[in-house]
């Protein structure tokens, strides 16, 4: 696809991220949950957002269902479409972070390459990768959406963890196994890890 050369950014004329962070009295980051389906990514993201809200932080959650029902509703599940799905999510996340918002994403994002792409788009210093390392056996036991059952029957092709691989992060910012920690414990661990990252220092 040929790129449009008639684009003239005006970024230098706009308010800066630091201006928005000062207004909101918080530091913005991207908290990127990755892990198998059923590992607890979205549950953790929602619980974390509620706790941050109680503490006065402005947040925004992005996850597979709300993204694929909107901005990415024209994408399928081919390898190319999955890559484009994450690329668009990363670009949207970058805008939220630039607005001074603590942004929380919950996506399987199964390969290291695809997560590295997101990290490079958003910015490595802003990208906090949280690996929800709940074992496959536990995720399949939960099967909250009935997807593993369909995958085992061959009704879903290239399903991560069954017929497609998941590459665990090598050096995540944080790792949480929800089969070992309760939701309350997991959120406490998260809060302790990110507090210094989002606390506003005048």
Domain locations along the chain: 17-198
**Is there a binding annotation on residue 36?**
yes
Please calculate the CA angle 67-172-193 and round it to the nearest 5 degrees: 90
Q: What is the pLDDT of residue 142?
A: 92
Q: Which residue has the tokens 């599940």?
A: 77
Which pTM value belongs to this model? 0.89
pLDDT value at 29 more than 80: yes
- What Rg value do the Cα atoms of the chain yield, rounded? 18
pLDDT value at 3 more than 80: no
Query: Is 186 a residue of the active site?
Result: no
pLDDT value at 136 more than 70: yes
What is d(CA 128, CA 33) in angstroms, rounded to the nearest whole number?
Answer: 8
Q: What's the whole-number mean pLDDT along residues 63-86?
A: 82
- Are the beta carbons of 139 and 147 closer than 8 angstroms? no
Q: What is the pLDDT of residue 113?
A: 96
**What does the mean pLDDT of the chain come to?**
91
pLDDT value at 143 more than 90: no
**Is there a binding annotation on residue 39?**
yes
Q: Which residue has the tokens 């997101």?
A: 118
Phi, psi of 128 (to 5 degrees): -105, 105
Catalytic residue among 28, 109, 133, 186: 109
What is d(CA 122, CA 95) in angstroms, rounded to the nearest whole number?
Answer: 9
- Are the beta carbons of 145 and 47 closer than 8 angstroms? no
Q: Which residue has the higher pLDDT, 31 or 74?
A: 31
**Is there a binding annotation on residue 40?**
yes
Nearest 10 degrees: Cα torsion 183, 35, 114, 63: -50
- Which class for 46: exposed (0-12), middle (13-18), buried (19 or more C-beta within 10 A)? middle
- Which class for 191: exposed (0-12), middle (13-18), buried (19 or more C-beta within 10 A)? middle
Which two structure tokens, joined as six digits, stand for 148? 């593993």
Q: Which residue has the tokens 């399928």?
A: 76
The architecture of the domain spanning 17-198 is 3-Layer(aba) Sandwich (3.40)
Closest CA to 192 of 97, 55, 62: 55
């Amino acid at each position: 696809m040929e790129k449009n050369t008639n684009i003239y950014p005006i970024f230098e004329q706009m308010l800066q991220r630091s201006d928005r962070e000062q207004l909101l009295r918080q530091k913005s980051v991207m908290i990127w949950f990755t892990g198998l389906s059923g590992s607890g990514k979205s549950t953790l993201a929602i619980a974390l957002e509620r706790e941050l809200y109680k503490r006065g932080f402005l947040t925004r959650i992005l996850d597979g269902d709300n993204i694929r029902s909107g901005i990415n509703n024209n994408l399928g599940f081919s390898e190319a479409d999955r890559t484009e799905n994450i690329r668009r999510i990363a670009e949207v996340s970058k805008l939220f972070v630039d607005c001074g918002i603590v942004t929380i994403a919950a996506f399987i994002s199964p390969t290291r390459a695809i997560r590295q792409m997101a990290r490079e788009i958003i910015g490595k210093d802003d990208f906090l990768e949280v690996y929800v390392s709940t074992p496959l056996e536990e995720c399949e036991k939960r099967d909250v959406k009935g997807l593993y059952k369909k995958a085992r029957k061959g009704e879903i092709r290239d399903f991560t963890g069954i017929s497609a691989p998941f590459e665990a992060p090598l050096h995540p910012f944080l790792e949480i196994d929800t089969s070992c920690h309760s939701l309350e414990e997991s959120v406490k661990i998260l809060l302790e890890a990110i507090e210094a990252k989002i606390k506003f220092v005048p």
